Amino acid sequence: MDTVVQLKEATLAYNKDYCALCSVDLALKPGDRIAVEGEYGCGKTSLLRVIAGLEQLKKGECLLNGRVVNQVDFAHDISLGFLSREPVFFEYKTVRSNLEWVLKSRGVVKSERESLVQKVMDEAELGHLLDKKIRWLSKVEKRLVQIARLMLRPIDILLCDEILEEFDTVAQNSIIKLLKLLLDRAREKCVVIFACTNAKLYHDFAPKVYNLKYGVLSAQGEGNEANIQ
């Protein structure tokens, strides 16, 4: 398959006065890594949510490996990882329980769940957090555990929503180090999209930058009327 992610005239409107995405065209091939830069409220998160099958387009279509996104079985057809801006966990359970639950939901037996979680967290240098409850973790620890959680499985498509912006340089470096480890473990031709307000933070991962403004996508340096193919 030549194209992994493809948007064709993708239009998403939450109401008649606001169009989050306006006739967006985008085609990403195996191994493509891009940054989509824009201000808060420009439609970046909506773009990621459409690709993840979490939003229904008003017009156009989103295809993953040539299949309409709502027909994709993410448990078997495509392995998609979504690093949301606010990590979602069972707050009153431990890190270990949260990670093992992911594997349990995928049918992994208990003995394998325990060993795989321990192995991944040791590799991520986060083993000391395993028995802490999520609610007691700092923001940067939650981000790191969120990334480590995706290391439990190979990834075909990785979506990242402003995962660095709110942190200081020291925390950013820790996140970047673990993100590199995650991408080393991802599939060879993994497609990666970073939604961000500052594309410079992601240059080492995604030198190709697109701009999103008022729901319209354009290549950096081109007019907003451009569509990307």
Output the pLDDT for position 1: 57
Intervals of the chain under pLDDT 50: 222-229
Whole-number CA gyration radius for the chain = 18
**pLDDT value at residue 222:** 47
- Give whole-number Cα distances, 98 to 82, 89, 179, 195, in Å: 16, 7, 19, 25
What's the chain's length in residues? Answer: 229
Query: For position 227, what pLDDT does the model report?
Result: 38
Question: CA nearest 205: which of 227, 228, 167, 178?
Answer: 178
Per-residue pLDDT at 223: 40
User: Measuring CA to CA, which residue among 103, 174, 186, 180 is closest to residue 143?
Assistant: 174
**pTM of the complete model:** 0.92
Phi, psi of 79 (to 5 degrees): -95, 110
CA triplet 41, 147, 100: central angle to 5 degrees?
Answer: 125
Nearest to 52 by CA among 38, 61, 64, 65: 64
Q: What's the confidence (pLDDT) of residue 14?
A: 82
What is the pLDDT, as a whole number, of residue 76?
A: 84
Instruction: Extract the tokens encoding 215.
Output: 């729901």
What pLDDT score does 221 carry?
Answer: 54
Q: What is the pLDDT of residues 81-105, one digit of tens each?
A: 999 999 999 999 999 999 999 999 9
Secondary structure in 3-state letters for the chain: CCCCEEEEEEEEEEECCEEEEEEEEEEECCCCEEEEECCCCCCHHHHHHHHCCCCCCCEEEEEECCEEHHHCCCCCCCCEEEECCCCCCCCCCEHHHHHHHHHHHCCCCHHHHHHHHHHHHHHCCCHHHCCCEHHHCCHHHHHHHHHHHHCCCCCCEEEEECCCCCCCHHHHHHHHHHHHHHHHHCCCCCEEEEEECCHHHHCCCCCEEEEEECCEEEECCCCCCCCCC
